[in-house]
Amino acid sequence: MEYFLQQLINGVALGSIYGLIAIGYTMVYGIIGMINFAHGDIFMVSTMISLVLLIALFSLGVTAVPIVLLVILLGAVFLTALYGWTVERMAYRPLRGSFRLAPLISAIGMSIVLQNYIQNAQGADKKAFTQLIPGGIEFFKEADFSVWLQYSQIALFTTTIVVLAVFTFIVTKTPLGRAQRACEQDIKMASLLGIDVDKTISLTFVMGASLAAVAGLMHLLYYGSTDFYAGFVVGIKAFTAAVLGGIGSLPGAVLGGITIGLIEVFFAGYVSVDYKDVAAFSILSIVLIFLPTGILGRPEVEKV
């Protein structure tokens, strides 16, 4: 029972990270109908940025945790957003309205570029870091086992909820959100109606990358490690989460992420650690094949 509870907490924590990344996938897929294959790597870049900023602050003698966190958060969000913007601008925008495979191939190329860029710039070694927010609340103490809710997990949960609320507000209530939803329905029509489609799409990438940056920082705080390859599998799992939650839905993405996180943690805990990624990829296949419209979506009859 304690073990179960602990896994539950860990699963939701992992799932929150997936969910934050999944929002980036879901918004981009919703608007331009492409899988931003490089999004997982944008997340990875953000973990590296956070790491560099962290070490820089420490070596400058800034060690007050709240200040450190705030500076890293702002810095990482800004830089990662700029990465997202640049990637869209260089690799995707020139291909808009072209052959449909082209953006996907370009995105795969971009993913390779980002991974190897980081590998060359920061080395191939795994960067491990001691936890910045140690400790936690211990409850359900038993003789041999106790359940921990770490402070970093609490930070992760609150951040996820706050970020989700803010972004849901942006998408539903602001002019930018309206423009995004208009593009989602019909890009051509939106541009005829005077919506700056390019700007809207750029901002969507910027928003997605910002969320990836938040996820990246959380990941670094919570797991305390990263490397140049950390984005690939995480990205694919987050994409699964986006589909599972229903493409285009922000709360759906977080819900999907938590579902994937829970499945992964419980599979690793109760069935097999070795095969946990096999389980994740199997779920991905099953979701895409049998639930292509997500948990909440209805099956569609193909229009002829």
Ligand X SMILES: Nc1ncnc2c1ncn2[C@@H]1O[C@H](COP(=O)(O)OP(=O)(O)OP(=O)(O)O)[C@@H](O)[C@H]1O
Residues 49-68 that bind another protein (CB under 8 A): 49, 51-53, 55-56, 59
- Interface positions, 228-257, toward another protein (CB under 8 A): 232, 236, 239, 243
Pick from 66, 101, 142, 175 the residue near another protein by CB under 8 A.
101
Cα–Cα distance measured from residue 265 to residue 60, given in angstroms and rounded to the nearest whole number? 38
298 lies in the site for ligand X, by CB under 6 A: no
Q: Which does 186 bind (CB under 5 to 8 A by kind): another protein, ligand X, none?
A: none
Cα–Cα distance measured from residue 294 to residue 286, given in angstroms and rounded to the nearest whole number? 11
- The residues, any chain, with a CB within 8 Å of residue 116's CB and separated by 6 or more, are 228
Q: Specify the residue, 64 or 304, whose C-beta has the smaller distance to ligand X.
A: 304
Residue 241 has which token pair? 């989460």
Give the x-and-dash track for 244-283 against ligand X (CB under 6 A): ----------------------------------------
Pick from 95, 154, 176, 295 the residue near another protein by CB under 8 A.
95
- Interface positions, 51-70, toward ligand X (CB under 6 A): none
Please answer whether residues 220 and 51 qualify as being in contact, where contact means their C-beta atoms are separated by less than 8 angstroms.
yes
206 lies in the site for another protein, by CB under 8 A: no
Locate tokens 């599972």: which residue? 244
Please answer whether residues 201 and 31 qualify as being in contact, where contact means their C-beta atoms are separated by less than 8 angstroms.
yes
Beta bridge partners of 225: 128
Exposure string of 264-289, with b = 16+ CB inside 10 Å and e = fewer, is bbbbbbeeeeeebeebbeebbeebee
301 lies in the site for ligand X, by CB under 6 A: yes
Q: Which does 121 bind (CB under 5 to 8 A by kind): another protein, ligand X, none?
A: another protein
Using CB under 6 A, list all residues that contact ligand X: 301, 303
